[in-house]
Chains A and B, each alone.
Chain A
Amino acid sequence: MNIDDIKREFPIFDDKIQNNDLVYLDSANSSQKPRVVVDRIYDFYTKEFSNVGRSVHYLAVAATNLYEQTRVSVQKYINAKDKDEIVFTKGATEAINLVANTFGQKYLSEGDEVLLTELEHHSNYVPWHFLRKAKNIKIEFAEINDNGEVTLEAIEKKITNKTKIISVSHLSNVTGAILPIKEIVQLAHSKNIPVLIDGCQGAPHLKLDMQDIDCDFYAISGHKMYGPTGIGILYAKKKWLEDLPPYQGGGGMINEVKKEGITYGELPNKYEAGTMATAQVIAFNESIKFMEKIGIQNIEKHEKELLDYGLEKLRKNNSVNIIGNPKEKGGVISFTIEGIHPHDIATILDEDGVAIRAGHHCCQILHDKLNLPATARASFGVYNTKDDIDKLDESINKCKKIFNL
Chain B
Amino acid sequence: MDLKDLYQEIILDHGKNPRNLGKFDNYNKDAKGNNPLCGDNVHVYLRLNENKKVEDIAFEGHGCAISMASASIMTDMVRGKEEKEVKEIVSDFLGMIKEKDSLETNILKDDEKTKLMSLSGVKQYPMRVKCATLSWHTLTSALDNSDQIVKTEE
Q: Which residues of A contact B (CB under 8 A)?
A: 18, 339-344, 347-348, 351, 358-360, 364, 367, 373-374, 402-404
Contacts and interface: CB of A to CB of B under 8 A. Distances in A.
Contact of A359 (B3, B15, B37, B66): B37
Given A340-B65, A341-B63, A344-B64, A351 B3 contact: yes
Contacts of B38: 343, 358-360, 374
Interface residues of B, number: 22
A341 B3 CA distance: 15
A373 B62 contact: yes
B113 interface: no
A360 B37 CA distance: 8
Interface in B45-85: 62-66, 68
A364 B41 CA distance: 13
Interface of B: 1, 3, 6-7, 12, 15-16, 37-41, 62-66, 68, 125, 127-128, 131
Nearest to A360: B39
11 contacts: A339-B16, A341-B63, A341-B68, A343-B38, A343-B128, A344-B65, A360-B38, A373-B40, A373-B62, A402-B3, A404-B12
A95 B15 CA distance: 42
A347 B125 CA distance: 8
Contacts of B41: 373
Query: Considering residues A18, A343, A364, A373, which has the most beta carbons from chain B within 10 angstroms of its beta carbon?
Result: A343
A170 to B, nearest CB: 24
Contact of B7 (A18, A342, A402): A402
A367 B64 CA distance: 16
Contacts of B15: 341
Contacts of B62: 373
B59 to A, nearest CB: 15
Contact of A344 (B37, B39, B66, B127): B66
Contacts of A347: 3, 6, 125, 127-128
Given A341-B65, A364-B39, A374-B39, A351 B1 contact: yes
Contacts of B16: 339, 403
A402 B7 CA distance: 8
A360 B38 CA distance: 6
Nearest to A368: B39
The 3 closest A-B CB pairs, nearest first, are A341-B64, A343-B64, A359-B38
Contacts of B63: 341, 343, 373
Contacts of A403: 7, 12, 16, 65
Nearest to B37: A359
Nearest to A18: B1
Contacts of B66: 343-344
A18 B62 CA distance: 30
Contacts of A342: 64
Nearest to B3: A351
B41 to A, nearest CB: 8
Nearest to B62: A373
A359 to B, nearest CB: 4
A348 B4 CA distance: 10
Given A344-B64, A373-B62, A367 B6 contact: no
Given A351-B1, A404-B12, A344 B7 contact: yes
A236 to B, nearest CB: 31
Nearest to A345: B64
B12 A348 contact: no
Nearest to B7: A402
Contact of A367 (B39, B65, B68, B125): B39
Contacts of B65: 340-341, 344, 403
B10 to A, nearest CB: 13
Contact of B39 (A339, A348, A359, A404): A359
Query: Considering residues B7, B38, B39, B63, which has the most beta carbons from chain A within 10 angstroms of its beta carbon?
Result: B39
A233 to B, nearest CB: 27
Contacts of A373: 39-41, 62-63
Nearest to A19: B1
Nearest to A358: B38
Given A343-B64, A367-B39, 10 more contacts: A340-B65, A341-B15, A341-B68, A343-B128, A344-B7, A347-B6, A351-B1, A360-B38, A402-B12, A403-B7
Contacts of A341: 15, 63-65, 68
Query: Considering residues A342, A344, A402, which has the most beta carbons from chain B within 10 angstroms of its beta carbon?
Result: A344
B108 to A, nearest CB: 27
Nearest to A342: B64
Contacts of B6: 347
Nearest to B41: A373
A359 B15 CA distance: 18
B16 to A, nearest CB: 7
B74 to A, nearest CB: 18
A337 to B, nearest CB: 12
